Structure 1
Amino acid sequence: MGVCDAIEHYAPAGKPSAMNAPHLPKVAGIDSTVPPPAHTVSPAPQAQSAPTAMIQDRLAGWISDLTTLQELTERLARTAALDEALHELLRAGAALVGARRGLLVLEPADGLGPDTTVGLGLARADLGHIETVPRGATAFGRLLDAPPGTTTEIVSADLLADTGLDPRHREVAVRLGYGASYALPLTTETVGRIGAAVWLYDEPAEPGERQRHLIGLYARHAAEHLARLLELDRARTTEATLREELLPSRLPRVAGVQLAVRHRTSALGGGDWFDALPLPDAALGLAVGSVTGSGPSAVAAMGRLRASLRAYAVMEGEDPVAVLSDLELLLRLTEPARSATALFAYCEPALRKIVLAGAGHSPPLVIGERRTEFVETSLSAPLGMLACWEAPSVEIQTEPGETVLLYTDGLLHRTGDPMDRAFARLHAAAANVPKSMRDDPDAVADHVLRTVLPEGIDAVDSDEDVVLLAARFE
């Protein structure tokens, strides 16, 4: 990347010849250009000619430049998030052009976003001041609004000496204390212009030819990397939006029970889901589940499965086995290559009674003043694994103030422990919920998550979804 460009840019036009080589001065009447006799001793190795030293200096410069570019591009390549890459580009660019501050405006030409501005050595208030300058008077504005390929860089070596500088721009430059700027567009051949970077100097200055060449090479590579991260970020945003639309936007209010939920999706985008559905006769249906796979296809399958379960719950929710049997048949007919785990609970809050059935899913956990225990459900295969799924239902009676936790296996897998130890950790976390928190299902859910997952539910390096649904019966 850029190695040949760097060598070609700095390579000398030709080899120095004896005719144009500079003559060394005479010492003690001896002409240093006359070769010594064959029988005399050769000069010491350190007595090199000026052309040789010049070539060695250039070679050392090339090696230094290539090493710097390699280190900076490798650091950029290690960034996996768009925001992280934007800040790394700003830092590396500042080092290459000798600036202390800068800003990068991400504004893809296709208008699909995301549009954002990040700063280096500039607080959010400083960026706000810069945004008050008319767009056409800023370097990044001129780069972003210029026709493709017409502007490659904008050098403002002495802003305050520019008589044509916009008055508001002059006021902001004085306020923030910068006197010069150097700006580059960020473009790729396939995507086009995706943004512009501006580096700010405290005093009148501009990068030299060598610096401009290096930052040009780096910016071309960085733009390609940003374009890839931009595409990935858009896909994740679309998937997250779709997933949020497929899951309940809020939990229902049902007399006799309080609900709370915590849900996080992995970076890969999995198919864990939950639902809370008011049913006839003041009943409530609670469900959690997970489909195999990840990415958009898993999210779509999750949406279809959840919508079908809601329909079956309305028709025959008082029989959780029938609900899951119908769901299994639908999955086998419409998603033959996919399996799923699910748990459905039919709740009668007035009686504090729950009838539930599970298909390959982890058992619920009951938290009360006198007990903290897992509900004993029968072992059963996930949906879609057998020719016909069937398992008996289980009925439990809760006491006033007890909370039932429903969760997906991702909560256990994220601990990194074997399953038996993960279950023990979850049980211990639930048993140690402070009494002052037990009247609030939100507080119970947060305490359990903090205890089971000390690194937090938002760990970006995990490929496991997490769902935790808490129902406190009054």
Structure 2
Amino acid sequence: MASNAPVGKPTDMSAPRLPKVAGIDSTVPAPPHTAAPLPGVPPAAAPSDAVLPPGVLIQDRLASWVSDLTTLHELTERLIKTSSLDGALREVLGAGAALVGARRGMAVLEPADGLGPTSTIGLGLAHADLGTIETVPRGSGSYGRLLDGLPEAGPTSTRPSSTRPTRVPEPIAIRDVRTEEGLDPRHREVAARLGYAASYALPLATEEAGGLGAAVWLYDEPAEPDERRRHLIGLYGRFATEHLARLLQVERARVRVATVAEELLPSRLPRVPGVRLAVRHLTGPQGGGDWYDALPLPEGALGLAVGSVSGTGPSALAAMGRLRASLRAYAVMEGEDPVAVLSDLELLLRLTEPARSATALFAYAEPAQRRIVLAGAGHAPPLVVGDRRTEFVETSLSAPLGMLTCWEAPSVELSPAPGETVLLYTDGLLRRTGDATDRAFARLHAAAASVPGADRSDPGAVADHVLRTLLPEDLDPTVEGEDVVLLAARFE
């Protein structure tokens, strides 16, 4: 009977299905940006009448995705290791050139809020080439059009969020400078002179970070990146913009801190007969409490001081300013006795800021007699540099200010020979080397001993040589934030 016939399966369930690969439903179409391979990589050959199995197509697309993700991961990993704006811009240029298939380019940092800093970095372009490109009218150049259309920088803008523009400009591709409509004749002239025929410009902007600048890559022949390359450089550009925004905030904070620190320190060094002075002061991004002072005292004497307050940031700067001002007062009253000066400073610090400690070194100098009396509180010993000797001054050991109930350590006296330079410095100079303390002292001694004879007559040249030798460019980033003070006094 018909009623007893078995019930058949629905047609859509019994129809054959395409195989699955790695758990991915093969019927789901691939995103369009992964469809085209990178130029220069030929597709696998297949007979004209053959049809590739869907699984093979999926595997190819998955391999393309993995390749793209691996490339972006490697490039972003390299980018996040940069710690300066110029270094990050150079990395962006190099990575972008690989992604869009160009050989040369330039990046312009020009925050839309107008607060700076500004910078222009080239890839494969000399400084003169960058200047030549900048002669192109801003409205004709692709990067100039992007900069003029960028919104204000979000994190630093003072405008209400409801009124800030959030539109991010689209990249600008010029496939052929010779035939592109609307270009200024100067643009074509510069392109011919520098030998590029096409360009691709990318805004360094996001809705969160705002507009920070633009990057443009130059092709030797008429060309433009395909859809896949555009997608990759777009992803990388958004990540790069966020990284640049963080570095920009750090740089602006460092400049503000350095400005405040410089205002709290002497605006110029005094001129005292018989001695020449020079100072070098490096401020870290967070701003520490390292300081120095040089003040003329009665009867032709000179007071020299260096010190460091514990902590970083505005509170350390404020404490440094108060400590330096107090030391000046004590030096005027009893400068000929450095122990008394530091004892008064210890009492003041213990009563006014019991939670803070500080190191300090004060020297009472009589240049006419080439005589120095000094005392230190937890501070590194001075270094005497001359033609016949380079040696540390033997000072008595003592704890930093604020660490004892009552501080007192004996002073020491030294007599520099004519032409010798006495170097006073803060611990930041040693810590910035990244070495252990004993090795840092040894490196400082070696750097001072290697000062060329022609530079020994100039205290500024002595200080520059020591810094240049002791603090190489590949400085350990974990200690890069230390403040440094180096005060040089050359006795005639």
Same fold (TM over 0.5): yes
**How far, CA to CA, are the matches of 2:174 and 2:122 in structure 1?**
19
C-alpha RMSD of the superposition:
3.1
Q: Give the secondary-structure state (helix, strand or coil) at the position aligned to 1:258.
A: strand
How far 1:316 moved relative to its partner? 3.0
Q: Does 1:137 align with 2:155?
A: no
Contact 1:264 1:458 in 2 (8 A): no
**How far, CA to CA, are the matches of 1:126 and 1:403 in structure 2?**
45
Q: Percent identity?
A: 74
1:355 to 373, 377, 388: 373
**Pair 1:98–1:243, CA change in 2 (3 A):** same
How far 1:403 moved relative to its partner? 3.5
How far 1:10 moved relative to its partner? 4.2
Q: Does 1:472 align with 2:475?
A: no
Contact 2:373 2:413 in 1 (8 A): yes
Q: Does 1:113 align with 2:116?
A: yes
Contact 2:168 2:205 in 1 (8 A): no
How far 1:9 moved relative to its partner? 4.6
1:65 to 68, 71, 92: 68
How far 1:427 moved relative to its partner? 5.3
Contact 1:413 1:422 in 2 (8 A): yes
Q: Does 1:235 align with 2:238?
A: no
How far 1:304 moved relative to its partner? 2.8
**How far, CA to CA, are the matches of 2:290 and 2:92 in structure 1?**
36
Residue matched to 2:362? 344
**How far, CA to CA, are the matches of 1:441 and 1:335 in structure 2?**
35
How far 1:231 moved relative to its partner? 0.9
Q: 156-165 or 255-264, which moves further after superposition?
A: 255-264
Structure 1: runs of 5+ lacking an equivalent: 1-5, 13-23, 27-46
How far 1:332 moved relative to its partner? 2.6
Q: Does 1:91 align with 2:94?
A: yes
| TM-score, normalised by the number of residues in structure 2 | 0.79
Structure 2: runs of 5+ lacking an equivalent: 1-28, 36-46, 152-164
Q: 204-213 or 385-394, which moves further after superposition?
A: 385-394
How far 1:7 moved relative to its partner? 6.8
**Pair 1:108–1:388, CA change in 2 (3 A):** same
How far 1:166 moved relative to its partner? 0.8
**Pair 1:328–1:72, CA change in 2 (3 A):** same
Q: Does 1:393 align with 2:411?
A: yes
How far 1:278 moved relative to its partner? 1.3
Q: Does 1:271 align with 2:289?
A: yes
Which digits, 9 at most, give the CA deviation of each residue in 1:77-119, with x for residues without a partner? 2222211111111111121111222211111111111111112
How far 1:150 moved relative to its partner? 6.0
**How far, CA to CA, are the matches of 1:25 and 1:413 in structure 2?**
69
Q: 351-360 or 341-350, which moves further after superposition?
A: 351-360
1:171-320 equivalences under 5 Å are 171-266=189-284, 269-320=287-338
Residue matched to 2:154? none
**Pair 1:64–1:423, CA change in 2 (3 A):** closer
Q: Does 1:406 align with 2:430?
A: no
**Pair 1:348–1:458, CA change in 2 (3 A):** farther
Residue matched to 1:40? none
Matched residue type, 2:111 = P
Q: Give the secondary-structure state (helix, strand or coil) at the position aligned to 1:108.
A: coil
**How far, CA to CA, are the matches of 1:356 and 1:67 in structure 2?**
61
Q: Give the secondary-structure state (helix, strand or coil) at the position aligned to 2:347.
A: helix
Which digits, 9 at most, give the CA deviation of each residue in 1:257-288, with x for residues without a partner? 12233443445543222221112222111011
| TM-score, normalised by the number of residues in structure 1 | 0.81
Q: Does 1:165 align with 2:164?
A: no
Contact 1:7 1:62 in 2 (8 A): no
1:324-335 equivalences under 5 Å are 324-335=342-353
Q: 175-184 or 395-404, which moves further after superposition?
A: 395-404
**Pair 1:169–1:422, CA change in 2 (3 A):** closer
Matched residue type, 2:306 = V
Q: Does 1:103 align with 2:88?
A: no
**Pair 1:290–1:130, CA change in 2 (3 A):** same
2:56 to 53, 59, 79: 53
Contact 1:267 1:460 in 2 (8 A): no
**Pair 1:352–1:457, CA change in 2 (3 A):** farther
Contact 1:263 1:467 in 2 (8 A): yes
How far 1:401 moved relative to its partner? 3.9
Which digits, 9 at most, give the CA deviation of each residue in 1:148-199, with x for residues without a partner? 4163121222221124211111211111122222222121233311111212
**Pair 1:275–1:134, CA change in 2 (3 A):** same
**Pair 1:421–1:85, CA change in 2 (3 A):** closer
Contact 1:449 1:457 in 2 (8 A): no
